[in-house]
Amino acid sequence: MNAKTLAWAVFIALGYVCWPIVGKRVGAPGVWMGTIINFCGLVCMLALSSRQLINGPMVTTKAILALVAVGIFNGAAVYVYSLKTTDPQINTGVFIVLISILLTTLAPLVDGLLNATMPSAKQFAGIALGLIAIYLINSK
């Protein structure tokens, strides 16, 4: 992975990490925070990708249906994420770390299931370390 890709990854990670922390800091209710963030995300996506959407190839009906299904699932997940990251009883930073570990643990498994890719032995070791990290982050 080159430096430019790593820089974009840092940008993306900050985008995901900052909004729930800022939302909690300013006292935004979770439902408002998630709705505003997703609306702004939609506007930004449309503005940045409008040329590709207009001039690029159209997706298949099968792809549209699959993306709508996972979009609904993602929307429900963001709703719960918004509620949990603003809950005063939950340490927002620790919760985000937990979600991040779960993302890195689940991604190769879901990818393997859907795209028939097999994680390497080192990647399986990383998944195991992720599971250990989840155990440690949840223990007192």
The pTM assigned to this predicted structure is 0.84
Cβ contacts of residue 19 below 8 Å, gap of 6+?
33, 37
Q: Supply the pLDDT for residue 135.
A: 86
Contact (CB, 8 A) for 119 and 127: yes
pLDDT tens-digit profile of 1-53? 788 998 999 999 999 999 999 999 999 999 999 999 999 999 999 999 999 99
pLDDT of residue 108: 87
Domain ranges in the chain are 15-90, 91-140
133: left (phi over 0), alpha (psi -120 to 50) or beta: alpha
Residues 85-123 pLDDT 10s: 999 999 998 899 889 988 988 888 899 899 999 888 888
